[in-house]
Amino acid sequence: MQNKGLVKLFALLFGLVSIYQLSFTFKANQVENTAKEVAQTRFPDDAKASNTAELRYLDSLKTEETFNLGIKKFTYSEVKDNAMNLGLDLKGGINAIIQISVKDILKGLANNSKDPTFNQALEDADQLQKDSQDSYLESFYTAFDAIKGDTKLASPDIFANRSLSDDIKFNMSDNEVKSIISTKVDESIVSAFEVLRNRIDGFGVTSPNIQRLGNSGRILLELPGARDRERVVELITTTAQLQFWETYNINEIAGFVLQVNQRLITEEAAKSEAEESTTEAGEAEQVKDSTSNTIESLTGQIEQDTTATQQNNNPLGIQSLGQGGPVIGTFLAKDKGLVIEKLNANRDLLPAEQRYVRFAWAKPQDKDSEFLELYALKGNRDNEPQLSGAVITDAYQEYDPRNRPAVGMTMNAKGSKVWEEMTGVAYTTRGNIAIVLDDIVYSAPGVSTGPIAGGRSQITGEFSLEEATDLANVLRAGKLPASAEIIQADEVGPSLGQEAIDSGVQSFLIALGFVLLWMIFYYGKGGIFADIALLLNILLIFGVLSGLGAVLTLPGIAGIVLTIGISVDANVLIFERIREEIAKGKSQKDSIKDGFANALSSILDANITTGLTALILFVFGTGPIKGFATTLIIGILTSLFTAIFITRLLVDWYINRGGKLDFSTSLTKGFLKNVNINFLGKRKIAYVISGILIAASLGSLFTTGLDQGIDFVGGRTYQVRFAQDVSVEEVKSDLTAVFNSAEVKTIGGNNQLKISTKYKVEDNSTEADEEVQSKLFEAIKKYLPDGITYQEFLDGSGDAKIGKMLSSKVSPTIADDIKKSSFWAVLGSLVVVFLYILIRFKRWQFSLGAVAAVFHDVLIVLGIFSLAWPYMPFSMEIDQAFIAAILTVIGYSLNDTVVVFDRIREYLNEHTKWEFARTINASLNSTLSRTLNTSLTTLVVLLAMFFLGADSLRGFLFALIVGVLVGTYSSLFIATPIMYDTARKGDAAESLKKKVKEEDEENA
């Protein structure tokens, strides 16, 4: 091997860099464990307080030096930035898919048009979306075309308005307008994406992931470590429409409020007593007389007799009037919609100068507030505020004069000028300016020191530190161009993540130990060198993941463990070729040199085909599947480096010192050496067996079908742990009585259930989530420990971690998208592999054999899942992880097949006098040792993970185990025989042999 010094240098540098990167991970874990211990010591019985204390402890260390590497010191924030990032399933957190409302965007582009055709088309589009796979925009176009008559999209009342005058002209056709509107909608979605990205960047979690899903209005959001779902929902769905309004004083508006109250009293009395109502003028005069006293006396009149209020003498529900400031009064929070409706319905009582008044509620002191304060804003004809949030250039969390959390803001030059004018008027008139966010008054400060120059303002209120930080973040990021709705949400608890880590590490170490021992057992001292290369390979994988800032997930760990099994394949190929060269009588050095050289082609082809499927998986996958693909791709690259270069470096070092290597032990020497199985002679039997399996698979798929997971049918699913074993049938019976239909399965032991329901599947509101969870708790409460509270159930808390451990929600809309992306992932991988093999081997027979074997493997895996899912004690749902398994099966099957094809091509060139069938059989027999070795090591890895790993991956691992078995069988009895049967007809076989010989001569 040339350039050994360079290889040594690269190996040393890569190893040191990997250790350097991983050192940050170890330090970060140490600091976080200390924070958790400190918090739990302070609050041993209060999980929420402990969680808050832990976060505050870590926040206090962000700028403190916590890691000293000698050459440089690092703060905790820098350590965290360099540490390996754990995904949702390992760390816990929140995953959500957000739908940006295209309907809102269209309304905005049409300037909230009142055109009846336009608005009817929007309503019809809503109906079409329930049973359509089209985008909302396509449904709107369909609905508009169906009812438009003579109305055009370029109408002045729709899209040919002042806002779009530069783009849309009156004489444009509908098709021209559709093209422009489609572009505008896409721009608005991109804008929403950027707003959300900026908000999430300031949220404070490590490695948040936000990405747009295709050309739809959907956005994927992953927040590892996030624990407050309500906070995330509010952060995402807040439109952030900030406005500044002048307010009316209580003295200016109280008369109107009391007139409305009196009118309602009169109407109620007239209705109940069937008497004629008092005239409107007389009614107003009566109220004027009664309100001639001070506001204080008015307030006293309302408060002095609660019995009168209960007897409908206060139909407006006034709890108290304001005391000389901008607060009009206090009302019951539950009546807020009714109060505004009644006030707006009686606007005829307002004086002319107040006819544009806007009513807005104050921000409640907390989410459970019983009372709300009402403000009256000085509106105008255009219903536009004097100043909007568009002028805000920066927002930041700060503290008010009383040291309470607040939000500070600065404005641009235009905003600063208007703000100075507004504060000047407020100072002169002793008025107030309401700061309104999404129609909620956060504060309404007065101005006591004169006009405020420089555009500086502050929002105060009953903020927690987190609320002030989030509000500043939202204002800084800007407002969404349309409303955002969460249509899929997943919550993963940290306790589940810890269990996943523990089981993943355990299965990883056991699988690794077996592989290391097996290589030594089978290849002797050569196996030791392969093991050293393998351990370096694992170090490099973790080092690269940490250095790239990639997120490690549980399927990612599966990808690493699977890489262990696959990565030994390169060394197995090399060692088997060296053994063949030694058997030919060559010297030790020549055998090693030729063995490495001859194995290179097979190693590259096998890993490239597997890498291509991993790339397809990376492109089409999301979340955990992308993590699996990432680790697999990295593992393939590092295993190529370690197997080809590091193993060769170690072997040459040992030989040059006078050592002797025969790459076998006394027990394995000559194993499978003289095997002469007539594979082609048994192909018809194999065809019959495969035909029966495929027929059974197709029959089951068309009758029984597959156990489609929530990803594909939509609904809600919960994983619940009990203190003792429970009966699946009893729990299912109780849940069916509540939800009408429910699926219940054991996950792992009989004390842990996976419960799925489609109850209110189309309702994505928080209220629906709460209702389903509440019903679930009541239905299974009798199986839970006595005294467990609803909140403890939701938190999965208590001594034994009893209760809800995991919940997820997905709408049918996104489920259809997952089906499409899964289909294209499988189809894309098959097309790419077919083309690669065609280019590499120059004959379509090879591509046909390989793809036929892949179809064979996929159908049988699907068939086994269809036949077995009703009877297996673990979940065999078809979800995104299963798609990852199918693509891995494709890659593994191709890996085996390509190695055999490489040997066939080699033998066709070396043994030109042999019969075509003899060449094929000899090639299969000569690679049998490698095939069995690789399959065995991979199977043991998967079996260790299956029995010792996380329950959530059992179905995924079962698919891989079946895939490895079927893939090994198909490479021997399906792929090669099909290639043989199609090539031997006519003179194709001779042509193939001639073509291979010509190519080898050209390459030489």
The confidence score (pLDDT) of residue 6 equals 84
Q: Please give the backbone phi and psi of residue 342, each rounded to the nearest 5 degrees, phi first.
A: -70, -40
The confidence score (pLDDT) of residue 302 equals 43
Fold type of domain 242-479:
Gyrase A; domain 2 (3.30.1360)
DSSP 735-757: HHHHHS--EEEEESEEEEEEEEE
How are beta strands 551-552 and 85-86 bridged, if at all? parallel
The confidence score (pLDDT) of residue 711 equals 65
Q: Which residues of the chain have pLDDT under 50?
A: 277-311, 798-800, 986
What are the residue boundaries of the structural domains of the chain, listed by start?
Answer: 4-83, 97-237, 242-479, 493-666+678-702+816-1003, 715-810
* Distance linking the first and last C-alpha atoms of the chain: 19
Judge whether 366 and 238 are in contact, CB under 8 Å: no
pLDDT in tens, 305-342: 433 334 457 888 888 888 878 999 999 888 888 999 99
- As a dihedral over the C-alpha atoms of residue 308, residue 310, residue 312, residue 315, rounded to 10 degrees, the angle is 110
pLDDT in tens, 538-589: 999 988 888 887 777 767 776 777 777 777 888 888 998 898 888 888 888 8
The letter for the amino acid at 474 is V
Nearest alpha-carbon partner for 768 in 906, 776, 545, 46: 776
The confidence score (pLDDT) of residue 111 equals 87
The confidence score (pLDDT) of residue 296 equals 46
Dihedral sign, Cα of residue 294, residue 299, residue 304, residue 310: positive
Judge whether 224 and 492 are in contact, CB under 8 Å: no
Left if phi > 0, otherwise alpha if psi is -120 to 50, otherwise beta: which for 419?
alpha
Left if phi > 0, otherwise alpha if psi is -120 to 50, otherwise beta: which for 828?
alpha
The CATH number given to 715-810 is: 3.30.310
The confidence score (pLDDT) of residue 995 equals 60
The confidence score (pLDDT) of residue 667 equals 84
How many CB atoms are closer than 10 A to CB 915?
11
Judge whether 921 and 679 are in contact, CB under 8 Å: yes
DSSP 364: P
The confidence score (pLDDT) of residue 856 equals 94
SS3 assignment for 510-575: HHHHHHHHHHHHHHCHHHHHHHHHHHHHHHHHHHHHHHHCCEECHHHHHHHHHHHHHHHHHHHHHH
Which residues are paired to 95 by β-bridges? 222, 490
Q: Which residues fall within 8 angstroms of residue 665, CB to CB, at 6 or more apart?
A: 521, 522, 523, 524
